[in-house]
Copies of this chain bind each other. A is one copy, B any other.
Amino acid sequence: MSPTPDNDVPDPAVRAYLDAHRTDFLDDLAEWLRIPSVSADPERAGDLLRSAQWLAAALRRTGFPVAEVWPTSGAPAVFAQWPSGEPDAPTVLVYGHHDVQPAARSDGWRHDPFEPVARDGRLYARGAADDKGQVLLHTLALRAHLAATGRTAPAVNVKLLVEGEEESGSPHFTELVGARAERLACDTVVVSDTGMWSEDTPTVCTGMRGLVDGRLLLYGPDQDIHSGSFGGGVPNPATEAARLVAALHDEDRRVAVPGFYDGVVELTDRERELFAELPFDEAAWLRAAASHAVLGERGHTTLERVWARPTAEVNGIHSGYGGPGGKTVIPATAEVAFSFRLVAGQDTARIRRLFTDWVAERLPAGIRHRLDFWGGGTRPCLTPLDHPALRSLVRAMSRAFGQPVRFTREGGSGPAADLQDVLGAPVLFLGISVPSDGWHSVDEKVELDLLFKGAETAAYLWAELAVGRGPGPGPETGGASEPAADPETA
């Protein structure tokens, strides 16, 4: 049996605390959700500040001895800290964000997006899942952890960093983390801004892709010229843009920029098996993608392609004439919006350099170009399956959900990698949102049962992280992802 038998069943004291405070917690969350902290809207700057102040006050009420609003060059962040009473306790930094996507009733919401409505076991509001619900569950979780363990301070040193610009691309986050690295120092980062596979399949995300994006401008003739008089005799920037874009991929749909795959951390056979064990329904996935066929790098499944393989995508091309009717010009310019998704082992600066050189080498005489990257890019992050902290999270989540936990990754990119790299700490993703939650869309909601399972997971996690740092049976060697071989039960 398990070496820690008390860890594989729910803790009745935690559950009792969560049940007793369910209504209060939801009232609190509703109050926060009423603040329209839309970071994309300059007119909401006051609401961003109110939202930060509200959270800082809520954290103080929770018991955090330190809860500060940190100004940035943009919207304010919130930092809080609650030291453990234990000597040598590890330090955990929880990351989330308090800003939300824009939302208006006129977008098609069934009700005011900033007036939360609970219905059918769900709470509907902008930010319910992304990300206020997932941030605030940590306050309830910490109180449950204390109540169940009889402690007055958490078993680990808990820090929170809740930024206010995530929905705007976190433009000042790297700067903030760098400037405050000392106070943010930690052993483990817990990101609560992601989701899980489905209501029925609890999962832990183990990595996100990185991102390098930018714009390529091509300049041909000084103005649009007549394709009859000159066509066939001079380079056409629309054609050259297309030739570059086409050359980005080979016939196997692999990225053809030389050196692009150098250093890529390939999936292990075990990881490919774990992906393959997920209940993937291609038709349902295509519906979610609003797409009509899968297509990608030869030799990989769809989940491998979107989670664990780097890509080159064109986000837009614009050149010359558009619309009905003919206008037989050779366009003066062409513009390509591009993005590369990166995986562990790829370096943003190196990818920028490779692409820069590749573009310059491929353009013919007569086509000048300008290449801009939007910032330095976002690094990929990946937590190894056998990392002790990841095992702690898997155990905590298995207890809360009463079933084995599987592994996913995220195809998107986020600021988690900055925390990983600047603070030198592994990143765990504790996310309980599900694909139907409608992030960035109308009628965003959070499933209340999952929200409280998330709080329960976090309540167990602090104790797990305090004790579960040694090696032991984990997912990599036949772990929590497999019902028949759960190390806690087998």
Contacts and interface: CB of A to CB of B under 8 A. Distances in A.
Interface of A: 169, 209, 211, 213-215, 220-223, 225-236, 238-239, 241-249, 286, 289-297, 302, 305-306, 309-311, 313-322, 324-332, 334-335, 337, 339, 341, 364-368, 372, 374, 410-413
Contact of A233 (B241, B306, B315): B306
Contacts of A231: 306, 311, 313, 339, 341, 411
Contact of A328 (B286, B319, B339): B339
Q: Which of A169, A310, A327 has the most CB of B within 10 A?
A: A327
A291 B234 contact: yes
A311 to B, nearest CB: 4
Contacts of A341: 227-228, 231-232
B291 A232 contact: no
A327 B317 CA distance: 12
Contacts of A309: 232
Given A315-B326, A410-B228, A293 B233 contact: no
A44 to B, nearest CB: 19
A313 B337 contact: no
Given A243-B246, A316-B331, A291 B221 contact: yes
Nearest to A300: B232
A310 B249 CA distance: 29
Contacts of A169: 326
A293 B219 CA distance: 12
A283 to B, nearest CB: 13
Nearest to A435: B229
- Kindly report how many copies of this chain are found in the complex they form together: 2
A321 B330 contact: no
Contact of A294 (B223, B310, B366): B366
A291 B324 contact: no
B326 A316 contact: no
A129 to B, nearest CB: 15
A306 B330 CA distance: 13
Nearest to A412: B228
A234 to B, nearest CB: 4
A233 B328 CA distance: 35
B221 A315 contact: no
A471 B71 CA distance: 92
Nearest to A309: B232
A314 B214 contact: no
Given A222-B290, A366-B291, A330 B315 contact: yes
A173 to B, nearest CB: 15
21 contacts: A213-B328, A228-B410, A228-B413, A229-B289, A229-B306, A230-B411, A232-B306, A232-B310, A234-B286, A234-B294, A235-B291, A241-B317, A242-B244, A246-B246, A246-B247, A292-B368, A295-B365, A314-B319, A315-B328, A316-B320, A326-B339
A316 B321 contact: yes
A396 B365 CA distance: 43
Nearest to A285: B233
A478 to B, nearest CB: 28
A12 to B, nearest CB: 38
A465 B242 CA distance: 50
Contacts of A305: 232-233
B412 A290 contact: no
A234 B295 contact: yes
A272 to B, nearest CB: 16
Contacts of A330: 313, 315
A125 to B, nearest CB: 22
Q: Which of A213, A231, A238, A364 has the most CB of B within 10 A?
A: A231
Nearest to A295: B235
Contacts of A233: 289, 294-296, 302, 305-306, 411
